[in-house]
Structure formats: C-alpha cells, structure tokens
Structure 1
Amino acid sequence: MTRLTDRSRQQKQYLWRRANGIEVFADPAPVRAHIQKLMGWGMTLEMISQGADCSGQAVRFIVDGTFPRAKAELAQRLLAVDHRPRPSQWFALAIGARRRIEALNAMGWQSQYLAERLDIYDRVRLQLMIKQPRIRYTTWHAIHELYEELSDKPGPGRNTMVRARNRGLMPPLAWYDIDIDHPAAIPSRAAIRSHCKNNHALSPDNILISSTGHQSCRECHRIRNRASRRRDTTPAA
C-alpha cells in the first residue's frame, strides 16, 4: 500500500474541502485586529498562541502581515481566544486577580490573611504580584477559588474594610453579574446602597459593622441614641 507524503495529504485535503464548499483560507485582517486588541489589553503573543493551541510564529506572522491569508481553522481558533484565562496558558491577565483581592479587602479580609491562604510569602509580595500586568495562571486560579469561598462572607478586619472603601475599592456585590476579568469592565455602584433609608450617605466613615458583619448607618445610630437619652432624662408627667 502506497503511503501519502505530508504534502500529498495536504493537497488532497485542500481539494476535498474546496469541492465541498468548505472555506480553507480566511481574511487575516479581522484576526489581526482581534490579536492587536488582545495585545492592547496586555496579553502576549505567547499567551494568545497557547490559548489557540498554535505556534507563536504563526500568530506573529499574521500580526506583521507575513501571511497574506490565514487558514480558516486557525483563524477560528484565534478569534475564540479572549481575555479569560485558560489552563493551557502559562500566564493570565492580572487585572481580575487584583480586583478580587481588592474586593475581599473591601469586605474586611486582610491582605496578610489572603496571602497566607494562597501560600504567598506575605501581603507585600501579594500586592506586588497583582499589580503586575500578568500573573501565573496557577496563581490566578488560586485567587479565583479563594474569592469564590470568601466573597459572600464579611471579614474580621473593620479597619481593612474602611481603608479599602476610602480608597474607592468595590466589594464583591459591585461585581455581581459583571465579568470581573474583562479589562474594560466597570463595577456597578448601583448594586451597592449609597444612602440609608433616612438618606444619610453610606460612606466608609458612616458605616457601623456589627460582630456578625451586618452594616448599618452610624448617623442613624447616633440619632436613635440621642432620642433614647432624651426620653431617659425627661421627667415623667
């Protein structure tokens, strides 16, 4: 039995696809624009090629115009790559990891505790890691899992919460139903109450947090206490 060479096999596949109306090549311009958008977000050619399961050279040749056309199958795989981290990638964009750590800070979880849970040396190293444009996929995944565990539980550090919210950091509720890993995503402030029922601004210095994590308006608490003291000091008729 005669064995086909690689070139003969590719030629037969090409003729078969063309005969059956299957696109063999695609316009590289949309693919190039998509790759450039990903790179604008901070992704490297290596991250993109690993996400598409192809060589970095193929991606580079599409970007610099060396390839006047691209194989349709490769074009589809490249267009399917987006900002979301994939296990096949060594590195991921760090912005989602940073937002998760900051959201947990805004819930009262101290960075030192989070660093210890993540088996990272200390909080300073953790902060340095998440401020980089890219982070190892394994670290991103560990932060993702920790966030899923703690995001609906108030942390023990009230001072951590106050400092985080004074810096404008958004708690997990602000990211509900929003892709926290998307570089262009914006948290929803509407998901967080800005004022209490008596229209007092719920700024970080006007929030009381009970031992169970319940938040209430500090100004309303003062008003109730003053009213209670007046009743106690008013002589009975």
Structure 2
Amino acid sequence: MRARMWCSRLWRGRPARMHALLLTALVALSGIIAVPRLDSAPPPRTTLLVLGDSLTWGSNYFAKAQTRLAATGTFDTVVVDSRWGRRISGPTSARYSGVVAYKTLVADGLRPTAVIVALGSNDVAILVKRREFVAVIDDLMNAIGNVPVVWLTVHRVDSANVTRQSQRFNSTLIKELARYPLATVFDWVSVATSDPSVVDPDKIHLTPKGYEVRAKVYLALASELAQRASDLTSTTTTTLPTTTIAP
C-alpha cells in the first residue's frame, strides 16, 4: 500500500520536474527566445487631385477626365476640381483661387497623395513680373506640401504680350519647381504646338480634340504619379520589433 502511494506521488511530481528541466535546458542553449511579431497593416488609401481652370473643366466636360481617371483604378479616389477663371492664388474664393480651393478641399476631409496642377493660364494675363510668378507658385506648393506633384506649363498665344508672359511663367515654373524634390513639370506647350488643331481659335482654350488630348495627358500623368507615390511609401516602410521571452 505504501509502495503504491509513493509511486503515485512520484508520478504526480514527475511532469513538473520534467517541465522545469526542459525550460532550464532551453534557456541554457539559447538564453533568450525571440518571437517575431507578424503585425500587418492595410496599405494607405491613395487620392489623386487634379486642380485646374477652364482647360481642365473642358477636359472633364468633353472628355470625361474624372470618370476615366477613376476607371483605371490607379488611385482609390480621384477628384477633378476646376473652375473657369481660376488663378493660382489670391485672396478670393475657392472658385477663383487654387490655393483657397486646395485648402477648402483639405478642410472638408480630402487627403491628396498626388496632385496634378493645371493652373497659370489666367495668371499670365494679369501678373507681369517674375517675382510675382514665384510668389503664387510657392504659395500653392506650400499649401500642397510633401506629396508628388506634376504641374503643366501654360500655352497662351492670344496676344504678343500674353505670349511673352506665358513664356516667362513657364521658365519661372521650371526653375522654381526644381526646388521641390517631389515636383516635376510637364511640357504642355510642346503638345499644343505639335498639333495646332488642339487649340481653339481664341488661342486660349482647346477644341474638342484638344480636350481629349488633355485628358489623355492626365491619364498618363496619373500613372506616373501613382508609381512615384508607391515608391515613397515603400521607402518609408519600418521594421517591426521582436518580442522577447526571458526565463
């Protein structure tokens, strides 16, 4: 009887002792056991904003730019915001100021991850000095912040004076955007001059064919911007820490 009781106590105590011995052996062999955390997060949502004036309005009306941009699926959200007579900046409403329009959209919850800027056509008819162009360009770029941007050059040939101002604006734009690492300039002038049939007889706006060409430019630029935004995201990926289990 005593032998059976002793054996029973021995059996009940054996698992605990074996566990202790196994843990001691593991600690002796490895010191600390590192268990990687396999946390994952969904990719951030992407938003393209096309900010423009009457040329962008026409591209949306005649060539369905926003619908076609959204249909590609390149961005989760696409917003084409354009108004007739809109300038780059100025103390006016969102209808006539690109800066005010951008800030209003952001205040309403929009978070652009890439921007196509198609403004300047109305500024070249009013502003005359290079420093004035610099001021309005910087005003909008500072409002947009640290996201990829493509800005289209201006093509207006409705008078000799406006043509000169357009050229001055474009050269200023190229020089100024070189200061912004995430910004590039698209040469719309070369597109417009290579095929005169895209420009309306008023030498400011576009023909229906021209608006189709402009919409296709936006589609190509959107693809480029999506890649640039993706590259930015991949280069900012952080390494997750490990969780350690000590004895």
TM-score (norm 2): 0.23
Higher relative contact order at CA 8 Å, sep ≥6: structure 1 or structure 2?
A: 2
> Which of these two proteins has the greater Rg computed from alpha carbons?
2
Q: Which has the higher strand share?
A: 2
What is the TM-score when the length of structure 1 is the normalising length? 0.24
